[in-house]
Amino acid sequence: MISALLTASLVILALAMLACLFRLLKGPTRSDRVAALDTIGIHVLAIIAVVSMQLNTQDFLEIILVIGILTFIGTTALARYIERGVVVQEGGDTHDR
Amino acid sequence: MTGELISSILVLIGAIFCALSAFGLVRLPDVYLRSHAATKSATLGVLCVLGGGFLYFWVVDGTVSFKLLLAIVFVFITSPVAGHLNGRSAYRSGIPLWEGSVQDDLKPLVDKGQEIPGEE
């Protein structure tokens, strides 16, 4: 029963990640892709938690922390890059996308 | 047994919230609305999943997993911040709002040339 519930959660999370992958590939702007990457990282974190519950081990819990930190830093750096890449164009209109 | 069942049901609820956020990420028309879906409901979903894992390890192994608690606090703090930074960079790089949007509180400030609040 419990294993079936966890497997169902894994399937749902995998489908959600596929939907995020669609937005990552299609997304018309760069910010869409960054948001999709952020969401994919969060879903990876949830999947690792479910897998460590299913294998009944606590060895993977550090990986949750590391992936959370890496996702946050990656999103922050990409947002910085998008913002600064436009700030460089002094004074002009910024509707380049 | 009951605790394991409650924790796995909590995990299932979290997975459903994550799926809802992915659905919003695909269906909504705009960067800002998409980041609203991706930030809020994905945070709630992953917090439900991690809380379910915390309860599971507490019930099964009898150990309180501080790593999982730390991950819960960290995700709860950083995920909205990341969404906000992404939305701000999208606005600053001139991505237009959806044509059905009815209000843009930031536009008068930008037109007057003032500093955007929160800008360093």
Q: What is the pLDDT of residues B84-120, one digit of tens each?
A: 999 888 888 878 888 888 887 777 777 776 555 555 4
The model's pLDDT over A52-95, given as tens digits with 9 standing for 90+, comes to 999 998 889 999 999 999 999 999 888 888 887 644 445 544 44
pLDDT for res B2:
87
Say whether B64 sits in a helix, a strand or coil: coil
Per-residue pLDDT, B20: 92
Tokens 């949750």 -> residue? A64
Distance from CA of B83 to the nearest CA of A (A): 7
Q: Where are the beta strands (DSSP E) in B15-62?
A: none
Task: Quote the CA–CA distance of B95 and B93 in Å, as a whole number.
Answer: 6
Two tokens, residue A41: 């990282």
**B-proximal residues of A, 20-39, CB under 8 Å:** 20, 22-23, 29-32, 34-36, 38-39
Whether chain B has a CB inside 8 Å of the CB on A40: the answer is no
**Average pLDDT along chain B:** 86
ipTM score: 0.84
Q: Please count the residue pairs, one from chain A and one from chain B, whose beta carbons lie less than 8 angstroms apart.
A: 187
Cβ density class A17-39: b for 16+ within 10 Å, e for less? bebbeebbeebebbbbbbbbbbb
Helix axes of B2-27 and A30-54: crossing angle, nearest 10 degrees:
160
Give the whole-angstrom CA distance, residue A97 versus residue B8.
44
